[in-house]
Amino acid sequence: MEYTILNNGIKMPMEGFGVFQMRNPKECEQAVLDAISVGYRLIDTAASYGNEESVGAAIQKSGACREDLFVTTKLWVSDSSYEGAKRAFENSLKKLGLQYLDLYLLHQPMGDYYGAWSALEELYKEGRIRAIGVCNFYPHVLADFCETVEVIPAVNQIELHPFFQQPDALALMKEYEVQPEAWGPFAEGKNGIFTNPVLTQIGEKYGKSAAQVVLRWNVQRGVVVIPKSIHKARMEQNFDIWNFNLTDEEMRAIATFDIGHSEIVNHFDPNFVRALHGRY
Ligand SMILES: NC(=O)c1ccc[n+]([C@@H]2O[C@H](COP(=O)([O-])OP(=O)(O)OC[C@H]3O[C@@H](n4cnc5c(N)ncnc54)[C@H](OP(=O)(O)O)[C@@H]3O)[C@@H](O)[C@H]2O)c1
């Protein structure tokens, strides 16, 4: 495992475990228990995933040392205001059964997210959150935000995988010292990513799968990855990416996959934005 040091000096694992679309409480709890037993220490949940209680229960049962874990949750749009964020933070903490959060993220740049950020800044200064960050902040939004707020986000979690590589977003994050984190590192399985012939061929050289090549490619360009799986064997496979290096040529070959837009979400579609104001 490798680590990155955030812009406030906090150490964050370069790989974690995502729990989106794990609504079944038993399944989620078992998956997080399995992930911790495999070695994952970063767990990425969100209020809107509806599974913070299951994540908290698994953390308790795992017996893992709290200081070794890096627990992330996210503030949903419906709580995107100063008061809403204060309330939502307490709710999430209670559901997770924790005394503090390692990372609290604004889930979307929507609603009164500047007001929400003020609340996060206060909680951060009180020591109740070790780092605060954002998600889905496109470059123009992130630039405006960083030019306005007092505490620069430590992390921006955005969609990052071979089919949507966002080089301009990564360049801007580097400028502001914001750590990029990839959601959907497997493009949620779209485009035949797990059987792609180029990725498979690259992997064969190292005795690795296409999935492992994809994760390795992102961490090698400085991106934290949080793959999701409910299968323990896949968790193990996805975690076994720290003993090989892709060559510059292989990195360049994967760079040609970029189609330059998301096939999962469209934040520029008013109907999608309206849907996010409901539950996601
Ligand atoms: N901030 C945001 O707006 C946002 C948005 C989306 C996601 N996220 C975060 O990012 C995390 C990861 O993204 P994601 O869950 O959307 O998608 P993902 O990790 O790109 O893909 C998950 C899919 O890949 C499958 N899979 C995992 N490992 C595999 C392997 N080695 N071989 C074959 N199939 C494999 C999983 O199936 P099985 O489970 O059946 O193994 C699942 O269908 C989420 O869980 C969440 O924490 C954040």
189 lines ligand 1 (CB under 6 A): yes
Pocket test for ligand 1, best of 15, 17, 20 (most atoms within 8 A of CB): 20
151 token code pair? 């505490």
Helical ranges in the chain per DSSP H: 25-38, 52-62, 82-96, 113-125, 139-148, 167-176, 197-206, 210-220, 232-239, 248-255, 270-276
- The whole-number pLDDT of residue 278 equals 84
- Is residue 49 flagged as an active site residue? yes
Whole-model pTM?
0.98
Domains and CATH numbers, the chain: 3-276 (3.20.20.100)
Would you state the pLDDT for residue 279?
55
Angstrom distance (rounded) from CA 212 to CA 246: 11
Q: Of 15, 161, 183, 280, which is best to mutate to test ligand 1, by the most ligand atoms within 8 angstroms of its C-beta?
A: 183
| Whether 251 contacts 217, CB under 8 Å | yes
Q: Looking at residue 23, what is its pLDDT?
A: 87
What's the 148 CA to ligand 1 centre distance in angstroms? 33
Counting from 1 in the atom list of ligand 1, the atom nearest the Cα of 161 is: 20
DSSP state for residue 199 in the 8-state scheme: H
- Which residue of the set 40, 49, 113, 124 is catalytic? 49
Q: Decide whether any atom of ligand 1 lies within 6 Å of the 231 Cβ.
A: yes
Average pLDDT of adjacent 10-residue blocks, the chain of 280 residues: 97 98 96 98 98 98 97 98 98 98 98 98 98 98 98 98 98 98 98 97 98 98 98 98 98 97 95 85
Kindly state if the Cβ of 280 falls inside 6 Å of ligand 1.
no
Q: What distance in Å separates the CA atoms of residue 254 and residue 210, rounded to the nearest whole number? A: 11
Minimal CA–CA distance to 29: which of 52, 5, 3, 6? Answer: 52
Pairwise CA distance, residues 241 & 208, whole Å? 8
